[in-house]
Amino acid sequence: MTDLEVSARRIRDAFDHDLADYRAPAGLAERARLGGLRRARSRRLRRWACAAGAACAAVGLATALTIAAGSSARPVHVRLAAWSVTTNPDGTVTFKLRKITQPARLQHVLAEAGVPAMVRWGEICLAQGRHDLLSTRGFVKTSIRENTFPEKYQPESFFATLGGQRHTPWLDWSWTITPGKIPPGGRFVISAISPDRVPADDIQSVWEFVHSSAPVACARLMKP
Amino acid sequence: MLFRLTADPFVEDVRMSAADGQAFELFVRTHATMLVRLAGALTGDPDVSEEVVQSALERLFVRWRRVDDPLAYARQVVVNLCRDRGRGAARRERAGLPAADLAAPDLIGVHDDRDQLVRAVRALPYRQRAVVVLRFWQDLTEQQAADALGIGVGTVKSQTSRALQRLRQLLDSPPVQAGRKPQ
């Protein structure tokens, strides 16, 4: 037996003994998966921020079109096949979205219900920095069909999804929002593109909650 | 304004198929404890080890489809992150803040030879420590250890030699004899 083999055996024995209590924590795979998605999304956002730079000219207009909500909130009951906004008896607002049609009307109805939002259809809109994304904890509950959106929502910051779903071409989102708890100065940015316009595996729809003053860039996609 | 965004390989990677997802889960189930122990061997801190491994697995997750050898990749990331943690600890120490327990070994009160040896290994400079852990505890080949550390095989050999020499000095024991357990 060589000197090296003796050393190896001693070291192996010592570390086996020392590390016996070290174990992978439960749920590590799930946390790694979510953390990985956060990393990926952060990177995508940076890419979008660059790619959509030329679209920043639209930011001013987009901001101006956003309807401020809050004090003017009133009960709303609008049900379309594509989307619905309903004020519940407890003051919360249930917003269901299958497809963005009549985006201006949707934005207006949400504002009337006390939910400040910028709604865009046919283009993807993103805040220009992750620091602009705000927590929705405490005033948003969501229901996103798991098999539709591989990227789970992240209640600490924002909701987002990837597009190009061939088998489930339309959205199936449902949120219950408490308007009275929405932080002043925040607004939702909701945008989507028809799935048939989106290259497979690209962003199809995005939902974010951001500062109203945060620059938001919108860009259209073209199917290659 | 229209612009074209072609299929993004990075996004494709993240959108795992169900089979990929299961493979990733299986990988974590199979190797995570070993990776936590590798990080533990390098840092001596269970909490840091878990953080490092989670971070490594996050990186592996987003590159799952592009990585040929997930275990080698994860091992390499763990080794790099542990090194970065050590550098952070050194910086904190220089700034007068509490540093991780990576300094010279306190051999007082150790329970037995094994504790003494582990502490001595952790007191080695990082590259020597990593070489010892990868070669002797993980039982990697010189080439595998070189890949994990991003260095050449020759450097692994020289670092191994220096590490063993330093260990003997730290442990204040005579060179081990072939076939005989050192005193």
Mutate to test the interface with B, among A2, A10, A16, A18 (most CBs of B within 10 A): A18
**B179 pLDDT higher than 80:** no
Task: Indicate the residue of B4, B7, B180 with minimum beta-carbon distance to A200.
Answer: B7
With beta carbons less than 8 A apart as the criterion, state whether A176 and A92 touch. yes
Q: What mean pLDDT do residues B131-154 have?
A: 92
Asked if residue B50 has pLDDT above 70, the reply is yes
Q: Which of A84, A204, A63 is nearest to A127 (CA)?
A: A63
As a residue count, chain B comes to 183
pTM above 0.95, yes or no: no
Nearest CA-CA distance, residue A56 and chain B, Å: 11
Average pLDDT over residues B19-31: 83
State how far the Cα of B183 lies from the Cα of B177, in Å rounded to an integer.
Answer: 10
What's the pLDDT band for B24 if we cut at 50, 70, 90? confident
Q: Which of A11, A33, A221 sits opposite B5 (nearest CB)?
A: A221
B1 contacts in chain A (CB < 8 Å)? 54-55, 219-220
Q: pLDDT-derived band of residue B102, with 50, 70 and 90 as boundaries?
A: very low
Question: What amino acid is encoded at A148 in this protein?
Answer: T
How many CA atoms lie within 13 Å of A188's alpha carbon, on the beta-carbon side? 27
For chains A and B, count residue pairs whose Cβ atoms are closer than 8 Å.
Answer: 168
Residue among A28, A150, A222 minimizing CB distance to B32: A28
> Are B136 and A12 inside 8 Å of each other by CB?
yes
Chunked mean pLDDT (size 10), chain A, 224 residues:
68 89 85 75 56 43 38 81 90 85 90 92 71 74 51 42 47 82 87 65 67 77 48
**Helix or strand or coil: residue A153?**
coil
Q: To which H or E segment does residue B174 belong?
A: none
C-beta of residue A191 within 8 angstroms of C-beta of residue A206: yes
State the DSSP H helix or E strand holding residue A90, giving kind and residue range, or none if neither. none
What is the per-residue pLDDT for A195? 63
Burial of B47 (0-12, 13-18, 19+ CB in 10 A): exposed
As a whole-number percent, the residues of chain B with pLDDT over 90 amount to 34
**Is the pLDDT assigned to residue B162 strictly greater than 50?**
yes
Mean pLDDT for B6-34 is: 66
SS3 (DSSP) at A183: coil
